[in-house]
Structure 1
Amino acid sequence: MFPAKLRRFNRSVLRSTIPYQHCSRSHASTVKQFTAKPLSPSIISEEKRRQYIQQIWLAKEAKEITIDEIAKKLGYTNVYTAQILNLQAPLNPEKACELCEILGFTIDPIYSEILEEMQKAPKRRFDQQILQEPNVLFTYRLLEAVQHNAESLKQVVNEKFGDGIMSAIDFHLNVSKIKGAQGEDRVVITFDGKFLPFIEQKIDNQRTVDQENAQKNQ
């Protein structure tokens, strides 16, 4: 059932908003209306961004739920889920009510602000200090592993796919925990990206574009 104030909107508007009928009454009032596309860009300050992220993770800790558990409920990879919680990836509006339930967001205005921000196109960024040992040793070693194997990785990819790169946009990233041959814990990080071949830059194609531009300018 939609809140009374929403019934005044026409059906075309309601179809483009978050599915309030899947929210509990308390959470329905927390989630604002957002269309799926286009996304508004994030313009909040760094201080406000850090405040929102802190509130999100405090809510997660209060619910005593893991990233994997949240990811399973939302249908995402665990790393992408963490990116959403860190305001590094946008939250699908259709998942907003579900995330309210998962994290126990209340009708406090701060959570409404956070949900609004989570559904915007984020400022994807990272702190340069995170790459410097000994600030975050895990990140430093991960970067080291990629750098030391980068040339060999490229050669293997070239042999299997051709001349091109792995997309970091059409891309899935997931972390798994397995047991090794000696019973030790092992980390498995899966980079799953679409292969993007470099194009053959033929002069005929450029001439066609130039001709079209010339015709438009006549």
Structure 2
Amino acid sequence: MPSKVYASPTGKAELVSRLISAKEATGKTFTQLSKELGLTNAYTAQLFYNQAQLKPATVQTLKKAVPGITEEDMAIMQRCPMRGFRPDIIQEPHIYRMTEAVLHYGEAIKAILNEECGDGIMSAIDMYGDLKVIEGKQGEKRFVIQLNGKFLPHVEQLEENNTAP
């Protein structure tokens, strides 16, 4: 039977609140934790927002890095998460601007992808995300987002290859 965390957005919100509180108690950033865990900083943050599954090989390292995570929450983190998009999150200014950037560059990105790789898409499942802050030419902070996704070609659907009965 699924736990309450999957039954409602409230349960997930409570889980995320507990996980973030445990992280904050360490005083560590997601980037610092990611180095301890051997994960990307984006994936590490996804774990705490219950958007990625904690794999068994990482459990002990996470327990050591963030001792405030309870055994119950650690068990929940190891289940397949209920990933999703909250419609209200688009109202947060940074997320709105990120969405705007993807929409602004989307057609150009697709055109280059199709020229270089053919007809297909970038996988969001087999993807690595990494974020860095760098210094610009005038000394300003600049934000670099790298999404490294596997190319998935669209296939011609030949009847002879259809494995459905």
What TM-score do you get using the length of structure 2 for normalisation? 0.90
Aligned to 1:114: 73
CA distance in 2, matches of 1:105, 1:147: 39
Give the letter for the 2:56 counterpart.
P
| Residues 81-139 of structure 1, C-alpha deviations (whole Å, 9 max, x = no match) | 00001111110122112211111237xxxx1210110000000012111113xxx1000
CA, structure 1 residues 162+101, in 2 after alignment: closer, same or farther (shift >3 Å)?
same
Higher-Rg structure is 1
Counterpart amino acid of residue 77 in structure 2: M
In 2, the alpha carbon distance for the partners of 1:91 and 1:52 equals 14
The runs of 5 or more residues in structure 2 that have no matched partner are none
Q: How does 1:6-21 map to 2 (within 5 A)?
A: none
Deviation at 1:43, TM superposition (A): 3.2
Structure 1 residues 61-80: aligned runs within 5 Å:
61-80=24-43
Cα drift, residue 148 of structure 1? 1.2
Any idea what the Cα deviations from partners look like across 1:157-201, whole Å, max 9, x if unmatched? 111111111000011111111111221110000011000011122
Task: Please list every run of 5 or more consecutive structure 1 residues that lacks an aligned counterpart in the other structure.
Answer: 1-39, 214-218
Instruction: State the one-letter code of the partner of 2:22.
Output: A
1:184 and 2:147 aligned: no
Q: Which amino acid aligns with 2:137?
A: A
Equivalent residues of 2:132, 2:144 under 8 A apart: yes
Aligned sequence identity (%): 39
Q: How does 1:157-176 map to 2 (within 5 A)?
A: 157-176=113-132
What is aligned with 1:124? 83
Question: In 1, distance between residues paired with 2:7 and 2:59?
Answer: 20
1:105 counterpart = 2:64: no
What letter matches 2:74 in structure 1? L
Partner residue of 1:138? 94
1:115–1:98 Cα change, 3 Å: same
Quote the RMSD (CA, aligned, Å): 1.9
User: CA–CA distance in 2 between the matches of 1:189 and 1:78?
Assistant: 11
Deviation of residue 71 (structure 1)?
0.5
Tell me the distance in 2 between the aligned counterparts of 1:161 and 1:45. 40
| 8 A Cα contact 2:25 2:68, kept in partner | no
- Asked whether 1:87 is paired with 2:73, we answer no
Measure the CA separation in 1 of the matches of 2:158 and 2:77: 43
Runs of 4+ in 1 over 3 A off after TM superposition: 40-45, 203-206
Q: Identify the match of residue 60 of structure 1 among 3, 23, 30.
A: 23
Distance 1:100 1:203, change over 3 A: closer
